[in-house]
Amino acid sequence: RTRARCCHHVHAQEALPTLSALILSGSTVAAAVRSEVAERVARLNERGQSVGLATVLVGDDPGSQIYVRSKHRAAEAAGIVSIDRRLPGSVSQAEVLATIAELNEDDRVTGMIVQLPLPDGLDGGAAVEAVDPGKDSDGLHPFNLGRLVLSRPAPLPATPSGILRMLDYYGIETAGKTAVIVGRSFLVGRPLALLLGAKGVDATVIQAHSRTPDLPGVCREADILVTAAGRPNLFNATYVKPGATVVDVGINRTDDGLVGDADFDAVVDVAGAITPVPGGVGPMTIASLMVNTVALAEAKDD
């Protein structure tokens, strides 16, 4: 465990050393998860089964290209075969669906990711729904989201499950705690609320969003505050109860580079623990995609 600022070196001009949050390193946890995945892949390979992750990338959005590249890198490091399908932004919806149908039929493909968002004019939701639910590495197919609502086993949405894995790794208690999740997207906020409130995790969940009155006051109720609004540096110290755990999901491209939703420098002195951006939730998301991919291959093997 590392501390953000070292309290041993108290400089003369500083009155008292401030308490500083535990930094929750997603990079560290993700490396551990990835090596576990690599072992599982190796066991399948020994039995003659390969694990293959296909990505479908439409258009040339630079952010999406970076995400897809890091997914391939993580897959290859774990011994998962990468299948990289790229379509120009000018394709029709029918061509996108035909590509997905082809990958559904391809035995080398045991898991698939449709990189969202699709360019304007294409229906990302319909594309996700076209993926074979048994190959849904993202855990975003309506069938699998439905199973999540029903507490039935399913590939879980990667960002929410990565967050749970990280809290578990650092021994951050969820049972009996109040979790405030800011954001209600199908990708992050909504499934995370289900997972944090599930039996065995047992947080009391408050889902906040853009229409929530007195957002700072609601956030100050949180023992665990998850910021997934996509608003750079919105969450300053006034949103954080002293000692709370802050999980910053936001990835915002600004003139100062990549920043989270939390104002890290201000919050780090109030929170008990905080995830950095980058190096926090992002690597956990990718690690969780690899977990889903190997688990789907194992299920096929049974």
Distance between the two ends of the chain, CA-based, in angstroms? 38
Six token digits for residue 284: 């956990």
- For the CA atoms of 79, 80, 84, 85, the dihedral, rounded to the nearest 10 degrees, stands at 170
Angle at alpha carbon of residue 177, lines to 251 and 195, rounded to 5°: 55
Q: Is 138 a catalytic residue?
A: yes
Q: How far is the CB of 251 from ligand NAD (least distance, A)?
A: 4
Taking the least distance from each CB to ligand NAD, the nearer of 206 and 229 is 229
Binding site for ligand NAD (CB under 6 A): 159, 182-185, 187-189, 209-210, 212, 215, 228-231, 249-252, 281-282, 285
Give me 221's structure tokens.
């109720």
Name the minimum Å distance from CB 13 to ligand NAD. 37
To ligand NAD, the closest distance from the beta carbon of 231 in angstroms equals 5
Q: Which is nearer to ligand NAD, 272 or 280 (CB)?
A: 280
Smallest gap from Cβ 278 to ligand NAD, in A, equals 9
- Is the Cβ of residue 44 or residue 229 nearer to ligand NAD in the bound state? 229
Considering beta carbons, is residue 102 or 123 the nearer one to ligand NAD? 123
- Active-site pick, 135, 136, 138, 223: 138
Among this protein's residues, is 49 annotated catalytic? no
List, in order, residues 6 or more apart from 81 with CB less than 8 Å away.
Answer: 50, 51, 52, 53, 75, 108
DSSP strand E in 177-279: where?
178-182, 204-208, 224-227, 245-248, 252-254, 257-259, 273-274
Q: CB 285 → ligand NAD: shortest distance, Å?
A: 3
Pairing of strands 224-227, 178-182: parallel
The phi and psi torsions of 114 (rounded to 5 degrees) equal: -95, 115
Q: Smaller CB distance to ligand NAD: residue 44 or 215?
A: 215
Task: Name the strand (E) or helix (H) holding 57.
Answer: strand 52-58
Which of 126, 136, 77 shows the shortest CA–CA distance to 289? 136
Residues with active-site annotation: 71, 115, 138
